[in-house]
Amino acid sequence: MLKIDLTGRRALVAGVADDGGFGFAIAKALAEAGASVCVGTWPPALNIFMNLLERGKMDESRRMSSGELLQFEKIYPLDAVYDRYDEIPEDVRTSKRYKDVGDCSIGGLAERLVADFGERPIDIVVHSLANGPEVKKPLLEVSRHGYLGAVSASAYSLVSMVQRFGPIMRDNGAFVSLTYMASERVIPGYGGGMSSAKAALESDTRTLAFEAGRKYGCRVNTISGGPFASRAASAIGIIEKMVEYVSANAPLTAKLTADEVGATAAFLCSPLASGITGNTVYVDKGYHAMGMAVQATDSAASSAS
């Protein structure tokens, strides 16, 4: 039987803070395939995430096909807008949610992984990170600070992670990130420079696939998931409308599930995908293939008759 087998591999999923998004679904899929899974969590969300785990509030979603609960090998604090500890401003370092977590930069996490698991501790890195401080603003109204903040948190963070995790990755390693169709088409309401950040993420995926492939022998791909009503996506403000629109107009009308994205990520990180790198893989029920809304097509046909 041909199956995804990640036994003996260690994955880091960066950007997990609850059980409602693609990051958690990917972590669970990797574990189902046999990988040990570490996660990186934004410090302001870390205590809440830990409390949910400890109080059993996520037990149902953590239940795996074997009946056992998904276990995280390590949970690390991670703020991916910082590459090194000395870049974290003093007022942030000493704030309530950061003062006890230590070095939560990308470089700090790489050092922690080496300290915990040895010189080459990782096989898989999942970038499930995105933030746009002005995401509800149209691009015409976005400040320079908001625009650069979106690109920094959502796109450059992947570059930084490949820089720092590539050298400590085992042979045949894999990076996977998450993008969205707003990178290539206008999605009114998806603002704050996030469309630009996703376009940068996809472009960087291709370039990093070449550079990191030659230098570290690893693969780099990104998944363009369809709209999904996660807690994080609620910040956009129109996510339910986006989900309904895609359901009405995609070739496959069933709404996208997080598990479908998780399964795709597990495949891309597995030996079965050893020849795939530099790609944007669409997991959106086929919506990316459509050039006209179904409603518009029906209306046009009626008027033509």
190 in catalytic set: yes
Judged by DSSP in three states, 224 sits in strand
Out of 180, 216, 245, 282, pick the active-site residue.
Answer: 180
Of 176, 128, 181, 130, the C-alpha closest to 151 is 130
Is 245 catalytic? The answer is: no
**Active-site position among 190, 216, 245, 287:** 190
Listed in sequence order, the DSSP H helices in the chain are 22-32, 43-54, 59-62, 90-93, 106-117, 144-151, 157-165, 194-216, 239-249, 258-268, 294-304
Residue of 294, 271, 231 whose CA lies nearest to 20: 231
Beta carbons within 8 Å of 153's beta carbon, 6+ residues apart: 80, 81, 129, 130, 131, 132, 197
Helix axes 106-117, 157-165, angle to 10 degrees: 30
Query: How many Å separate Cα 270 from the centre of its chain?
Result: 17
Catalytic residues: 180, 190
